[in-house]
Structure 1
Amino acid sequence: MKSSPTPHSSSSPYDSPRTLWAITIAFLLIWLYMLGARTLVPTDEGRYAEMAREMLATGDWITLRLNGIKYFEKPPLQNWMNALSFAAFGLGDWQARLWTGLCGLAGVAMVAYTGTKVFSRRVGISAALVLGSSFYWAGMGHVNSLDMGLSGMMTLSLCGLLLAQREHASTREQRHGMLLCWLGMALATMSKGLIGFVLPGAVLVLYTLWTRDIALWTRLHLVKGLLLFFAVTAPWFILIALKNPEHPHFFFIHEHFDRFTSNVHKRGGAWYYFFPFLILGIVPWLGFLLQGLWAGVGKDKGLFQARKLLLVWSVFFFFFFSISGSKLPGYILPIFPALALLIAVFLERASARSMQIAAILFGMIGLVGLLFINKAAGMGTTPYEIPLYQGYAPWLAIAAGLTLAGGIAAWLLARKGLAGKDWACIILAATGFVAGQIAFLGHDPWGKYIAGTAHIPAIQAELKQPTTPIYAVGRYEQALPFYLQHTLTLVEFPDEMQFGLEQQPELWIPKREDFIARWNRHISKGESAVAIVRTDIYAEFKAQQLAMRVIGEDPRRVIIATPPPVNSAHASSQTIPTASVPPTPAAGPSPSH
C-alpha cells in the first residue's frame, strides 16, 4: 500500500495542515479572548448593549428602545443577537461583543472558502490571512457596533454571488450561492437598513455595464431570491409600523434620504475623509493595496469576471460613502473582504521584491511608532489624563516593536523562494494581528475613563431601591445604564433620543429649573436620587448652592446625590475620589429596569 505524504513533505507552510491548524487555533483563541478583555466604550458599544438589555428586560422584540425611549434609527438584528447572547450567557462585555465577533470570523471563513473555490486553494489561504489580520477588520470585530454586523452579512452576499457565478459552478451550486447572496442582503438590510440591498444592487449594475455580461441577470434566481429576501425582512417592518405608525417616515426618509443628502446628524467630512482609515485599516498589507486594486482590472478565464466584480465592490462602496453627507469611520468596513481577495490574487504572482517593499513599509510603521512613543506619553494636559497617556505608551511601544520585528523578519524571508514568501505572508499577518490587539488591549484604561465605570460602586451605593432615579443633566452616558442595569432620566439634553422624546415627552425633563424643583422634592421627602451632571452645569449648581453631595468626579462628569436626612452625621457636602484606572465591574446575572 502506497503511503500518503506527510504534512511536511512540502516546504511551503501553505501545504502543511499542521501549520495551518496551529495558526487557526492561535488566531481563534486570541480573537475570542479579546471579546471580553476590554470595557464597553461609548458611544456605540454602550448603546447597543443597553438596547439589547432593555429588549430582554421588557420582552418587547419589535419596538426598539434606548434608555426606555423609542429609538428607530436602525433595524433590530444586532439587538436581537445581543439579547439572545445575554439570555444564553448573562450580561457582560464579551456577551455584548459576541455577535460582532462571530460576524468578523464568518467574514474570514467566507473569503477563505470563496477564494479557494473561485481562484485557488492558495488564494483562499492568503485571503484569510489578509482579512483576519487587517487592522480595521480585526479591530472592528471586537467592537459592539453595527458596522461589523453589516459587513459580515454583506460578505455573505458578495461571496454567495461569486460562488454562484463562478466558472463551472453546477446548477445546484449556482442556486445555493444565489440564495446565500439574497440571504446576505436580507440580513444586511436587517442590520443597518436599505443599503443592505441597494449597494450590492448598484455594484451588480455597474459590473454589468463594465463587462456587458447581461446574461448574469438571468442567473440571479430573482423569484426565489426575492421571496427569501422579503420573508426575512418584511415581518418586522410590518409589525413595527403597525405598533408605531411614526416609524416608516422616520426610518425610510429621515434615516436614509435625509442622512445621505445632508449633514442632519452633524457627521460630515471632506471628500478624503475615508482615505486615512483605509490606509490604516489595511495594515499590514498596505504595501499591496494598489497592486491588489490593479489586479482587479485583469481578465479572468470565462465569462464571469470575479476580479472586476471585487474591484467594483471596493471602489463603489468607497465612493458612495465618500460623497455621503454623513460619515463615520466604520462605514467603509464592507470593502475589506473584497480587498482581501484582490490582494490575495496579487500575492500569487508577487515577486520577492514586492514582498520586501511591503515588509519594509510595515517595519517603517513600527519604527515611526517607536520614535514617537515619548511624545505620545507626554500628551496629557490634565492631572487625570497624564497617567492614562503614560500608561498607554508601553503598550504602544510593544505593538510598534512587534511591527518593526515583523517587517524585518518578513523582509528576510521574502528572499527564500516560494516557501519564504509564504512564511513572510504568515509573519506579516501574525505580527500585524497581535500588534493591533495589543494596542486595543492597552487602550482599556481610556475606555474605562470614557465609560465612567470608576463611579459605578459609588452610584450603586446610592440606589437604595430599584426605583431610585438617576438623572443625566446636560449629557447622556452611553455605557453606565448597561453596567448599572438602570435607565437614566434625561434633563435638558435629549442627545440622539430627540425623535423618541417627541413621541414620549413625559419620559424626560426639558428644563433645568424643573429638574431642580424635582431634586429639591426628593430632598424634602428624604428620598435618594443620583444625577450625572456636565461639569459646567455642576459649577452653576454649586454657585446656586444646590443641596447635593459629590460622590464621583472626573474631567468629563460630576456625579451628585441627594444629601442624607438632616439628622445624619454625614449631612455635609463631601467628595468621594475615584481611581483613574478602575476595574471593570461584573455585570449582574439578570437584566432589570
Structure 2
Amino acid sequence: MVTTYAPKPVAAPSRLTSTRKRRIWILSLVWVAVYFASLFSPPLLDDADATHAQAAAAMARTGDYVTLYVNGIRYLEKAALPYWLVAVDYRIFGLNAFATHLPLALGVAMLAALAYRWGKHAISQTAGFYASLATLTTAGIFLFTRIFIPEVLLSFFLCASLYCLLRGLEKARVGYFYGMWIGLALAVMTKGLIGLVFPMSAVMIYLAITGEWRRWRELRFVTGGVLFLAIAAPWHILAGLRNTGGMNGHGFFWFYFINEHVLRFLGERYPKDYNKLPGYLFWLLHLVWLFPWSLFLPVTLRDLWTNRSRYLRPYSFHQRSVLLLGIYAAIILVFFSISTNQEYYTFPAYLPILLLIAFSLARREDNALRGHLVTAAHVVFAMLGFLIAGALFYGLWSSRNLPFEPSIGDLLAHRAVGDYTLSMSHFFDLTGASFAALRLPAALAMLAFAFGPAVAWNLRLHKRNTAAFSTMGFTTALFLVAAHIALMRFGSMLSCKQLADTANDLVASRRIEGNYQLMLYGDQSYGSSVIFYTNRQALLVEGRSSSLIFGSTFPDAPHIFLSSQDLLQTWGQGVRHLLFVPEEHHNDVEQLLKGRYVLLKETAGNTLLTDRPLN
C-alpha cells in the first residue's frame, strides 16, 4: 500500500520565524556543549591524532605546504587540505589540541547546518531540525571527531556537492552545478579519489534510474571539469614532481594513487598494516555509530519500501533526495564491506542515513500518520536507558569506598579485546578501581539515561513528538559530555603529553641540557604525542615500520632509524639522550640496558629514561 501524504497547513510566518530561531539556538547550544567545549582537552592522543598533527606542524614550521612530513620523513599517503587548515591554526593559536581539532568541530557545525538546510528544503523545518539534531548527537560522529582524521570534512564536501546537484536539477541554475564541482574538488583534496568516485557513482546511477541522464549537459562536465582540475590538480602535480625516487624507483604518484587507492582496496597495500572487520561486526557496529537514531531505522526502511515506486520515479525535491541519498549511502557501505576498512571509513554515509531517518520521522509527524514503530523505538530506548543506568549505578555503588585515582591507566586490566584495533577496546579494560576514577562522568551518564529516555517515551505517548525527539537528543548530548569527561580521565593512558611535559620542564629548569637527543623505542605512533609536544625530531629504535617505511626509502631521508645495537653504542655517549619506552617494549629495553638508565617519569606503563644523572 502506498502512503499518500497530505500537505500540512502552513503556520503563520511570525510563528515559523520564532520556531526557527528557537531551534537554531538549541542546535547551537548543543554544538557548543558537545563539540566546542571539548576542544581544549584532553591533549593530543598517540597514534593517528598526534601523527597527523606532526605533519601539520611541519607545514607551519617549514612553510612547505606540498609535501607532508612526520618526524622528518615524507608522509605521502594523505591529501593536503586538512593539514593546511590545521597548519594555519597553528600559526594563529600555537601548537595545541584546540588548534588541531578546531577544523573538525567546525566541520561538524557545517555538517549540521547542511542537514538543517537539506531537511528544511526537502520537507519542513521540523525535518531540518531533526536531521541537524541527530547529526550533533550521534555517537559515531562524536567518537570519530576526537582524533585528527578528515572524515567529517570529507562528509561535508561530498554531501554539499550532492545537495548542489539536486538543487541545480530542480532550479536549472548553473551556479549550483559549479558548486557541485567545487565540492568534489575539495573532497578529493581532503581524502583522495574516493571524493570523486563515491558521489559520481551515485549520480550516474541516480540519473540512469530517473531518466534524467538526458540533462547531462546541464552538469557542465567541460567547464565544471576545468574548475575541478584548477582546484584539485595543482597540489597533486607538485607533490608528484617533488617526491620521486623512493622504493623501487617509485614516487608520490605510485604510492598515493596505486598503493593507497587501488592496492588498499584489494588488500595488497604496502605496508600491510590495516585490518578488515568481520562482516557481521562491520554491519552491526553501525547501530552503535548511529545511536540513538539508529533505533528508528526500521521505521525508515518500512517507509522506503512502502513508497518505493514513488522514490524510483521522483518528481519532488524530497523524493529525489531520498533516492540519491539512499544510492550514495549504499555505495559507501557496500564498498567498504568488500574493501579493507577501519571503523570510521563509512563516516560519509552517516549524514545520508540520518537525513533519511529525519525525513521519515518528519513526514509521519506532519501528516499525523500512525507510528507504532516510532513508539516501539522509544520503548527500546527507555529499556536501554534503564539497563545502562542500572549498570552505571552498580559500578558507582561497587566503587563507592575506593579512593579516587587520577591516573586511570595504572588501574586498567589490559584485556586487549580486539587487540586494541577497535575504537572502544579500552572500554573492556575497566575494573572496579578504575571505575572510581570515572565517578563524575558515570554519574552524569546514569542520570541522563535514567530519566531522559523515559521522559521521551512519555512525551511520545502524549503526542508531543518534537519534544520527545528533542529529549532524545538532549539525553545523548549529556551522555556525550560525560563521555568526553571520561576520555579526559583516559588521557594519561592514550596520550604521553605528561612525559613530554616532564622533558620540557627539565629543560626549563636546566636540570637537563636543551640540546638533548630524543629517542623512541618502537614505531613512532607509540609516542607520537611526545614528538609533537617536545617539538623535536626523534630517533626511532627498531621503529622502521608502518607509515614511515616508504618515506624512509628516499635518498634524502634523515638517518633516524636505529637498531638495538645502535642504541647500546650511543647510550651514555655524546649529548644526553632521553628514551621513550612504551609499555609493550618495557621488558625489551630492560634486558637491553640492564638498569643503565635514570627513570624520569612513568605513567600508564610508559616510561621516559635518560642515560645520565640530572644536573
TM-score band by shorter chain is 0.7 to 0.9
Match of residue 351, structure 2, among 337, 340, 344:
337
Matches within 5 A, 1:394-413: 394-413=440-459
Cα pair distance change 1:214/1:475, threshold 3 Å = closer
Q: SS of the counterpart of 1:16?
A: helix
Residue 270 of structure 1 is matched in structure 2 by: 278
Cα pair distance change 1:461/1:344, threshold 3 Å = closer
Match of residue 363, structure 1, among 382, 386, 389:
382
Contact residue 382 and residue 457 of structure 2 kept, 8 A? no
Contact residue 317 and residue 335 of structure 1 kept, 8 A? yes
Contact residue 272 and residue 322 of structure 1 kept, 8 A? no
Residue 487 of structure 1 is matched in structure 2 by: 537
Match of residue 66, structure 2, among 62, 67, 92:
62
How many Å separate the matches in 1 of 2:430 and 2:288?
25
CA RMSD of aligned residues (A): 2.7
Contact residue 103 and residue 153 of structure 1 kept, 8 A? no
Match of residue 290, structure 2, among 274, 282, 290:
282
- Cα distance, 1:394 vs. partner? 4.4
Residue 299 (structure 2) pairs with residue 291 (structure 1):
yes
Provide, for residues 181-214 of structure 1, a one-character-per-residue CA deviation record: whole Å limited to 9, x for no partner: 2111111111111100011111122223433432
Contact residue 499 and residue 601 of structure 2 kept, 8 A? yes
Match of residue 257, structure 1, among 251, 255, 262:
262
**Letter aligned with residue 257 of structure 1:** V
Matches within 5 A, 1:311-330: 311-324=326-339, 326-330=340-344
Cα pair distance change 1:269/1:537, threshold 3 Å = closer
- More deviation, 462-471/447-456: 462-471
Match of residue 96, structure 2, among 92, 95, 100:
92
- Cα distance, 1:6 vs. partner? 9.3
Cα pair distance change 1:294/1:479, threshold 3 Å = farther
Q: SS of the counterpart of 1:316?
A: helix
Provide, for residues 526-557 of structure 1, a one-character-per-residue CA deviation record: whole Å limited to 9, x for no partner: x3210112446543444453521111224542
**Letter aligned with residue 533 of structure 1:** V
Q: SS of the counterpart of 2:520?
A: strand
Residue 181 (structure 2) pairs with residue 177 (structure 1):
no
- Cα distance, 1:138 vs. partner? 3.3
Q: SS of the counterpart of 2:576?
A: coil
**Letter aligned with residue 516 of structure 1:** L
Residue 473 of structure 1 is matched in structure 2 by: 521
- Cα distance, 1:105 vs. partner? 0.9
Provide, for residues 154-197 of structure 1, a one-character-per-residue CA deviation record: whole Å limited to 9, x for no partner: 2222222232223xx2x33xx22222221111111111111000
Contact residue 462 and residue 561 of structure 1 kept, 8 A? no
Contact residue 150 and residue 196 of structure 1 kept, 8 A? yes
Residue 533 of structure 1 is matched in structure 2 by: 581
Residue 354 of structure 1 is matched in structure 2 by: 373
With structure 1 as the length reference, what TM-score do the two structures score?
0.86
Residue 604 (structure 2) pairs with residue 562 (structure 1):
no
- Cα distance, 1:129 vs. partner? 1.8
Contact residue 72 and residue 557 of structure 2 kept, 8 A? no
Residue 501 of structure 1 is matched in structure 2 by: 552
Q: Structure 1 unaligned runs (5+)?
A: 569-593
Cα pair distance change 1:176/1:395, threshold 3 Å = same
Contact residue 85 and residue 95 of structure 1 kept, 8 A? yes
Q: SS of the counterpart of 2:66?
A: coil
Residue 518 of structure 1 is matched in structure 2 by: 570
Residue 28 of structure 1 is matched in structure 2 by: 31
- Cα distance, 1:276 vs. partner? 3.2
Residue 455 of structure 1 is matched in structure 2 by: 499
**Letter aligned with residue 493 of structure 1:** G
Cα pair distance change 1:275/1:396, threshold 3 Å = farther
Provide, for residues 94-139 of structure 1, a one-character-per-residue CA deviation record: whole Å limited to 9, x for no partner: 1110111111111110121122223333322222122222121233
Cα pair distance change 1:509/1:213, threshold 3 Å = same
- Cα distance, 1:343 vs. partner? 0.9
Contact residue 240 and residue 247 of structure 1 kept, 8 A? yes
How many Å separate the matches in 2 of 1:111 and 1:23?
15
Residue 553 of structure 1 is matched in structure 2 by: 602
Q: SS of the counterpart of 2:281?
A: coil
Residue 149 (structure 2) pairs with residue 145 (structure 1):
yes
How many Å separate the matches in 1 of 2:362 and 2:125?
11
**Letter aligned with residue 498 of structure 1:** I
**Letter aligned with residue 469 of structure 1:** Q
Q: SS of the counterpart of 1:159?
A: helix
Residue 217 of structure 1 is matched in structure 2 by: 216
- More deviation, 216-225/62-71: 216-225
**Letter aligned with residue 183 of structure 1:** I
Q: SS of the counterpart of 1:102?
A: helix
Q: SS of the counterpart of 1:478?
A: helix
Residue 462 (structure 2) pairs with residue 416 (structure 1):
yes
- Cα distance, 1:505 vs. partner? 5.2
Cα pair distance change 1:303/1:398, threshold 3 Å = closer
Cα pair distance change 1:422/1:133, threshold 3 Å = same
**Letter aligned with residue 356 of structure 2:** L
Contact residue 410 and residue 427 of structure 1 kept, 8 A? yes
Residue 571 of structure 1 is matched in structure 2 by: none
- More deviation, 199-208/288-297: 288-297
- Cα distance, 1:78 vs. partner? 0.9
- Cα distance, 1:152 vs. partner? 2.1
Contact residue 499 and residue 530 of structure 2 kept, 8 A? no
Residue 22 of structure 2 is matched in structure 1 by: 19
Contact residue 189 and residue 233 of structure 1 kept, 8 A? yes
**Letter aligned with residue 551 of structure 2:** G
Match of residue 135, structure 2, among 118, 131, 153:
131
Q: SS of the counterpart of 1:486?
A: coil
**Letter aligned with residue 440 of structure 1:** H
How many Å separate the matches in 1 of 2:375 and 2:548?
51
Match of residue 44, structure 1, among 43, 48, 68:
48
Aligned residues: 547
Matches within 5 A, 1:576-587: none
Q: Structure 2 unaligned runs (5+)?
A: 1-10, 245-250, 365-369, 400-410, 415-428
**Letter aligned with residue 465 of structure 2:** K
Identity of aligned residues (%): 23
Residue 404 of structure 2 is matched in structure 1 by: none
How many Å separate the matches in 1 of 2:88 and 2:474?
32
How many Å separate the matches in 1 of 2:239 and 2:166?
34
- Cα distance, 1:228 vs. partner? 1.5
**Letter aligned with residue 362 of structure 1:** F
How many Å separate the matches in 2 of 1:453 and 1:213?
55
- Cα distance, 1:511 vs. partner? 1.4
**Letter aligned with residue 181 of structure 2:** W
Residue 577 of structure 1 is matched in structure 2 by: none
Q: SS of the counterpart of 2:461?
A: coil
How many Å separate the matches in 2 of 1:421 and 1:241?
55
Q: SS of the counterpart of 1:372?
A: helix
- Cα distance, 1:409 vs. partner? 1.1
Residue 147 (structure 2) pairs with residue 156 (structure 1):
no
How many Å separate the matches in 1 of 2:195 and 2:262?
15
Q: SS of the counterpart of 1:248?
A: helix
Contact residue 355 and residue 421 of structure 1 kept, 8 A? no
Q: SS of the counterpart of 2:280?
A: coil
- Cα distance, 1:465 vs. partner? 4.8
Residue 229 (structure 2) pairs with residue 239 (structure 1):
no
Q: SS of the counterpart of 1:551?
A: strand
